[in-house]
Structure 1
Amino acid sequence: MTYNPPKPTTWAGREHPFPPELTMPVPDLIRDSFVGRVVYHASGRRLFRHPEEVPGFELPIRYTQQASRPDSPTAPSSDSTLSGTRLEAAVGDLSKRTSREMAEPMGDAKREERLPTHRHESVAAEEVLHLHGSDPEKGVQEKQIQEEIQHSYIVDWYGPDDPECPENWSFLKRVFVTVQIAWLTFAIYIGSAIFAPGIPDLSAKFGVSSVAASLGISMFVIGYAMGPMILAPMSEIPQFGRAPVYMITLFIFCILQIPTALAKNLGALLPLRYLAGFIGSPPLATGGASLVDMWRPEDRVVVIGAWSVAAMGGPVLGPVIGGFASQAKGWTWTIWIMAWLTGVTWVFLALTMPETSSQAILYRRAVRLRRLTGNPNLRCQAEIEAEHMTMNEVAMMTLVRPFYLGFREPIVAFWNVYIGILYGILYCFISSYDVVFIEQHHFTLPQNGLAFLGIIVGVVIGFIGFLPWALYILKPKFARGDFVPEDRLPPAFFGAFLFPISMFWFGWTSSANIHWIVPIIASGLWSIGAFYMFQAGMNYLADCYPRYVASVMASNDLFRSFVGAAFPLFSAAFFHNLGVGPALSIIGGIGAAMLPIPFLLYKYGHRIRALSKFAD
């Protein structure tokens, strides 16, 4: 009996590189995961293949015509009978080109269906292209990019229902990936405050003051303030994407916990805590961007709100877990828990987290199409734009402009101060809880950690109260198209009142002769207000400065993280010297003085934006 090999199949006029029997269908979550990508390349692209590489796949006609042209390896001609996806010469803003404008067929060929209106350029590329709107050199660069795009065949989505497009994923898949992003953010964010209950034990074993031991918190927070300046832009590069940056940095973060737990002195511990915060920062800086990749604008307000619950839950639940661990096994077990948590998280995400960046997905598609068709001119838009980004431009975006906008733009400066104070108070609570509940109410370390659950309950209540406004007021505005940035601010009206009220309440009800539940209720009230302020402020900044969102978010992240890093260093002395009531009254007074600003921005924000050359 003789073996008859299958007849080779053809693909776009070329023999298919892989025979049909090598096709092994796998769920796309696994195929597109970090491990799936490794298996794909390690097997010589024979396993975990993509639809274009499977025999029988019907390539859209515009790519087969391009591949069959005799001059396809060179720059395409201006033949008006060619049917394909070619960008028209963009006039004005590159960032305002959408895939509808890119997908104009040429000649008499049938017009294809409109493609999903994804922004193909990265946030970084979009911002760099707006560095100097009137700069002649920048105008020359934009012209060069336009010409290069015109001489390339732009790889786009195959149609409005392309399953590779993150916005077209099933609802359950998007929810699953959203939970992954939220869990990843929680697993990193918990690393700052979980260390706090172990400070007394560390101080005693290392023979240092409690203030010096508190630097373990501050260095971690400073690390994840500085990390996004370097690591966040990497996720915007189409050749990288978000998932590899998440997975590589999370793996290193997990490994760093081992020498941290084994450190024998403060000189070894503090650099490791800084490195851990630095290398673990990508989910904190770009987690929201991953959600924006998948969800349409009218849905993002709810999804990002849910993600914020996880982000706030990390620092709050840290003392709860760390209190039990440090009392049972000492400060090192707060670090070992971090190693176990992030290790399990890495394994789970490495097997199931797909890429969400549209420009990265399209870049990988362009690479596959170039390899399979032999046409080197098949490229994605983000790939072309990324090649024209210089290191000076990226440095300007990540290192210079965040400070410039933070001090020059009134809207950015205000929210930096407001959110910075809220963020600092979150870490300030760590010290105040020790004074209130351990020294005055005689709680144990685990009991003191449980007192933080009041903040978690407040965040959940805040999110539940946020949903009706998001679903029935804000979402219809997106649907009708009459949304303006100031529509984000009404939740801040409530937050602005709850902030000072909760500070006065907590401060003056913290004495031992008042039941401990009273200040805990006040902390829950604070977290409701903080949640509303975070939601309003961060989204308002992004809506006011869409062209410079990367720099604006970096500015806010830097400011609030440095404030958060400073508060643990003086909080203990602050509360001991002044008393909890007077100390929090000072902070509450600052909150009361800032109370009118959300109302003023709601009324006059459009005028302030009109005076800015950065805001839209």
Structure 2
Amino acid sequence: MKDLLRETVFGRLVRLASGGKLFAYDEELDPSTLQKYQPIDSESSSTSLNVDVKQTHQEDGKPADPEKPPFADQERPIPIDQEKGADHLLVAWAPNDPGNPRNWSTPKKLFVTFQICLLTTSVYIGSAIYTAGLQGVEAEFHISPVKALLGLTLFVVGYALGPMVWAPMSEIPYIGRNPVYVGTLFAFVLLQLPVIYASNSSMLLAFRFLTGLVGSPVLATGGATVADIYEPKKQAYGIGVWGIAAVFGPAMGPLIGGFAAESEGWKWTIWELMWLSGFCFVVLFFFLPETSSSNILYRRTVRIRALTNNPRVKCEPEIEAEGMSGKEIGMMVFIRPFTLSFTEPICFLLNLYLALIYGLLYLWFESFPIVFLDIYHFTLGTEGLAFLGILIGSFIIMIPFFYYNYKYVEPQFNEEGRLRPEIRLQPAFVGAFLIPICLFWFGWSARPSINWIMPVIGSSFFSMGSFLLFMAVLAYLGDAYPKYIASVFAGNDLMRSSFGAAFPLFADAMYHKLGVGWASSLLGFLSIVFIPIPFVLYFYGRKIRGASKMATHDL
């Protein structure tokens, strides 16, 4: 618990306020472990710096055995760039180093995963929970249904644009993930107040956009955080659970918000969002540890350098950052997500496919009031119960997905713990067909002569299909672009959220003009057009990666 708290925002502030006396690290408690980093005379520096270049941090905090040969505690030494690192004493991870997030205990990893899921749900629910109060927004501000729906659209646009800055920023060793998560969540909580007390529709819409913008980091970086703490072989399980949290928010939003809007008015939906996100902020502030290994290693290096007064102590992330100009850092933060999304064929095709699924989801959601209020005469509160089919479907599909991953995917990892990325796409072969099945089933079973349970059952196939597609695509992108995982996910979030923001605007007109059956069928036919994409990349992805400058080539 002490190690966990020390790496949280709360723990780091306590350390800062106490001058490092509270929540001290091993190297501060036992200076003898720093002997290898002490300044040395110039006559012996040339040999010493080329031998003892890597930290051998012990779990028990004891100094390394001087009788052991160099690198005795490491699996292999990290090659040093002669131009960048030859004159430095490198601080790096040793095997089983408890400071490395991938070496954390299973309970600690599960606790961190739970917090990322809580954060994801707290933000994702903000889109759907608002829609429950649309009629109240229309009545209070005397605006049209389309303009009221802009409160959803602009929120989604905000969390489409936000990760393009927040995600790459979290990859910078000097910053890490925690300041981005906690800082933006604090702003997210406070900005709900101007939404609640908006004096006109323009103010409401402006602050809905801002709340989406500042609440967005986890929507792209959550997957990268999971990758921080789980080895590649086990990442599918963590990302799978995170994916359920992403479904939980939109599915539960109409249910929670519907009863609130029905009894207390539309503002209560935003109050609920504020309470949930405020609770999440308190949990993360006190209990979410930093997961970026680059940031943890950089801060360890800073401590060792200060304790030894040796400016030659460096870590690889620091050396890489020092070698970057301001222009290069700006390119990394603001340009790289766009570059990856639109110049890498793999990213573009898969981002476009997920964007379509995301757009169809938000458009299709707008048909639920038409089906369950107009056809089946549900109340505003009970209409939210219809979304439970989507949530149940995601839980049902998770079981066979985990079994498949354990039984068939894990054995294909090589001795280095790596996997040919295209293998990750296999679940998408099933998921691609479940989407049109859902849309045809839902569209043609939603009629007064058929019980309401049939479209609810049909809706479960959408969450099954989207779960398999998202898990396959995100895992594939992470394996194909391991060095740029947060930027890749940010680009993916931009494209899919853009579709999610635009599609609902014409949903009402389309469903009323075409009818539920043909409107849903149109969406189903559109989803069929994209089915070949995962199959094409499965067979030709390796060749495409070979022609890329940014994708991995050696698998």
TM-score after normalising by structure 1: 0.83
CA offsets per residue over residues 191-236 of structure 1, 9 Å max, x none?
1111111111101110001110111111111111111121222211
Q: Distance in 1 between matches of 2:112 and 2:92?
A: 23
Give yes or no for the alignment of 1:69 onto 2:31.
Answer: no
Question: What residue in structure 2 maps to residue 610 of structure 1?
Answer: 546
Q: Does residue 265 in structure 1 map to residue 200 in structure 2?
A: yes
**Residues 194/115 of structure 1: CA separation in 2 closer, same or farther (3 Å cut):** farther
Deviation at 1:264, TM superposition (A): 2.1
Question: Which residue pairs with 1:346 in the alignment?
Answer: 281
Deviation, 1:116, is 7.0
Counterpart AA for 1:348 = V
Contact 2:129/2:254 (<8 A) preserved: yes
Q: How many residues align?
A: 542
Q: What SS does the corresponding residue of 2:366 show, helix, strand or coil?
A: helix
Bigger Cα displacement from structure 2, 237-246 vs 526-535: 237-246
2:157: which partner in 1?
222
Instruction: Name the residue aligned to 1:369.
Output: 304
Residue from 161, 164, 174 that aligns with 2:99 = 164
Deviations 1:452-473 (A, max 9, x none): 0100001111111201111111
Kept in 2: contact 1:196–1:430 (CA 8 A): no
Alpha-carbon separation, structure 2, partners of 1:333 and 1:547? 43
Q: Deviation digits for residues 410-453 of structure 1, max 9, x if unmatched?
A: 33232122211111122123210010001111111111111101
Q: Are the counterparts in 2 of residues 437 and 448 from structure 1 also a CA contact under 8 Å?
A: yes
Residues 403 and 345 (structure 1 numbering): CA distance in 2 closer, same or farther, change over 3 Å?
closer
SS at match of 1:379: strand
Deviations 1:253-272 (A, max 9, x none): 11111111111211101111
Assess if the C-alpha contact under 8 Å between 1:86 and 1:150 holds in 2.
no
- 1:401/1:164 Cα in 2 relative to 1: closer, same or farther (>3 Å)? closer
Distance (Å, rounded) in 1 between the aligned partners of 2:310 and 2:510: 67
* Aligned-partner Cα distance in 1 for 2:75–2:260: 49
In structure 2, the CA distance between the partners of 1:79 and 1:211, relative to structure 1 (3 Å rule), is same
Q: Does 1:504 align with 2:440?
A: yes
> Per the alignment, do residues 361 and 118 of structure 1 end up closer, same or farther by CA in structure 2, a change over 3 Å counting?
farther
- Taking CA–CA contacts closer than 8 Å with sequence separation of 6 or more, which of the two structures ends up with the larger relative contact order? 2
Residue aligning to 2:223: 288
Displaced runs of 4+ in structure 1, greater than 6 A?
116-120
Judged with a 3 Å threshold, the aligned counterparts in structure 2 of structure 1 residues 479 and 253 are, in CA distance, closer, same or farther, namely: same
Q: CA deviation at 1:479?
A: 4.8
What corresponds to 2:58 in structure 1?
A: none
Corresponding position of 1:279: 214
What amino acid is aligned across from residue 436 of structure 1 in structure 2? V
The aligned residue for residue 20 of structure 1 is: none
* Aligned residues: CA RMSD: 2.5
CA contact (8 A) 1:316 1:455 kept: yes
SS across alignment from 1:154: strand
- Counterpart residue number, 1:12: none
Q: Where do residues 578-593 of structure 1 align in structure 2 (5 Å cutoff)?
A: 578-593=514-529
Q: What secondary structure, in the 3-state scheme, does the structure 1 residue paired with 2:95 have?
A: coil
The match for 1:474 among 403, 409, 426 is 409
Q: 1:405–1:237: structure 2 CA closer, same or farther, 3 Å change rule?
A: closer
Alignment pair present for 1:451 and 2:386: yes
Q: CA deviation at 1:404?
A: 4.5
Which residue in the other structure is 2:20 paired with? 45
Q: Deviations over 1:88-127 (max 9, x none)?
A: xxxxxxxxxxxxxxxxx9x99612334478999xxxxxxx
Q: 2:146 — aligned with what?
A: 211
Q: For the structure 1 residues 118 and 35, does the alpha-carbon distance in structure 2 shift closer, same or farther, using more than 3 Å as the test?
A: farther
Seen in structure 2, the aligned counterparts of structure 1 residues 614 and 160 have a Cα distance that, compared at 3 Å, is closer
Report the Cα offset of residue 567 of structure 1. Answer: 1.4
Equivalences for 1:302-321 in 2 at 5 Å? Answer: 302-321=237-256
Matched, 1:529 2:465: yes
SS in structure 2 at match of 1:49: coil
Q: How many Å separate the matches in 2 of 1:255 and 1:343? A: 9
Q: Where does residue 149 of structure 1 map in the other structure?
A: 85
Q: Which amino acid aligns with 1:69?
A: I
Q: In 2, Cα distance between the equivalents of 1:463 and 1:38?
A: 39
Whether contact under 8 Å (1:180, 1:353) holds in the other structure is yes
**How many Å separate the matches in 1 of 2:367 and 2:397?**
23
Query: CA separation in 1, counterparts of 2:471 and 2:399?
Result: 13
Quick check: 1:202–1:213 contact (8 Å CA) kept in 2?
A: yes
**Aligned partners of 2:450, 2:283: CA distance in 1, in Å?**
46
What do residues 340-384 of structure 1 show as CA deviations (whole Å, max 9, x unaligned)? 111111111211111111111111111111221121221211112
Which whole-Å CA distance do the structure 2 matches of 1:380 and 1:161 have between them? 18
Deviation sequence 1:46-100 (CA, Å, 0-9, x none): 112112222xx2644xx4133152459xxx831358752259xxxxxxxxxxxxx
In the alignment, which of 406, 417, 435 is matched to residue 370 of structure 2?
Answer: 435
Deviation at 1:394?
Answer: 3.7
| Larger radius of gyration between Structure 1 and Structure 2 | 1
Q: Which residue of 1 aligns with 2:69?
A: 110
Tell me the residue number matched to 1:4: none
Cα drift, residue 36 of structure 1: 1.0
Please tell me the residue identity of whatever aligns with 2:182: M
Q: Distance in 1 between matches of 2:235 and 2:118?
A: 18
Distance 2:7 2:77 in 1: 20
Residue identity opposite 1:299 in structure 2:
K
What 5-or-longer segments of structure 2 have no aligned partner?
56-63
What is residue 561 of structure 1 aligned with on the other side? 497
Give the whole-Å Cα distance in 2 for the aligned partners of 1:68 and 1:614: 39
Distance apart, 1:299 and its partner CA? 0.6
CA gap of 1:217–1:31, structure 2 versus 1, over 3 A, is: same
5+ residue gaps, structure 1:
1-25, 88-104, 121-142
Amino acid at match of 2:11: G
